[in-house]
Amino acid sequence: MTVFKSPWRNICFLLALLFLTFFSSCSARIDGTFREGGAADITIQTSLEPSTLTLIRSLQNFMGDDNDTPVLDAQSIGQSMAILPGVRRVSFRNTGPSALEGSISISNVEEFLAVEDAESRFISYIQAPGASSMVILLDRNSAPQLISRLSGEIVEHLSAFFAPLVTGDTSTRQEYLDLVSSIYGRPVAEEIAAARILARIEFPRPIIAVQGGNFTARRAEFNIPLLDILVLESPLRFEVRW
């Protein structure tokens, strides 16, 4: 595993982290079921975009790696996720060298990526008869706490790609895309700009209100630009009440 390959391999895993929750120019879909008491099950499908895949393969060849090595390594990602707080079970498999799918079982969302500082909590869950809610917050206060729960390898790789989420820089979206374009080329930057994360989550009762997305009956849907997550130019707050 090389320094160049891992950021893109693990960045998709981090996007999954946003919703029980996932970073590179990936196409990603997350489907989840949330239960009273805080348990959740999610499935993930993700793959790399063509220009990003070409870049990674070129870097692999430069470093002497075998082209048969998966760019998205399902086994490695599964092992990384299995040790995270609140994770009960993980199962991933490669559906191709640059694509994977799998499932994650979470015992309690408040334990998932839990931090000591309650004001910087990534996920907040309140359960009450007929009035439960869950809030996911990612801003410049909670992001460092979130990153601290991940492996040092992932932090190093995200730093290598200058993601403000990790570096703490106050770049705008355009400034970050310009930086990526100057280093890795405009096609890669354009794929990052176009990438979105689609998450669909079923809740145990009819939803009353959603912030940051839409809902129908018991299903909440979120369609999030990857760039918003990487840069955090504005705080990202998602809330569901049911």
Predicted local distance difference test score (pLDDT) of residue 212? 93
Written as one string, the DSSP assignment of 136-167 is: EEESTTHHHHHHHTS-HHHHHHHHHTT-HHHH
* Whether the Cβ atoms of residue 61 and residue 83 lie closer than 8 Å to each other: no
Predicted local distance difference test score (pLDDT) of residue 21? 30
**Nearest C-alpha neighbor of 34 from the set 93, 102, 110, 142:** 110
Predicted local distance difference test score (pLDDT) of residue 5? 37
* Whether the Cβ atoms of residue 13 and residue 81 lie closer than 8 Å to each other: yes
H or E, element range at 103:
strand 99-106
Token pair 């048969």 is at which residue? 68
Q: Residue 92 carries which DSSP code?
A: E
Per-residue CA distances from 123 to 27, 99, 179, 232 (Å): 24, 28, 31, 17
Going residue by residue through the chain, which has 242 residues, state the pLDDT in tens, using 9 for 90 and above. Answer: 333 333 333 333 333 333 323 344 456 788 999 988 889 999 988 877 666 666 666 665 655 555 566 666 778 778 877 877 788 899 988 887 777 888 989 888 877 655 555 555 677 888 888 789 988 888 877 776 666 665 555 565 566 567 787 777 888 999 999 998 998 888 888 888 888 888 999 999 999 999 999 999 999 999 988 889 888 889 999 999 99
Q: How far apart are the first and last CA of the chain?
A: 44
Q: Is 210 helix (H, G, I), strand (E, B) or coil?
A: strand
The number of distinct structural domains making up the chain is: 1
The pTM assigned to this predicted structure is: 0.74
Sequence letter at residue 214: N
* Whether the Cβ atoms of residue 215 and residue 187 lie closer than 8 Å to each other: no
- Beta bridge mates, 125: 134
83: containing domain? 5-241
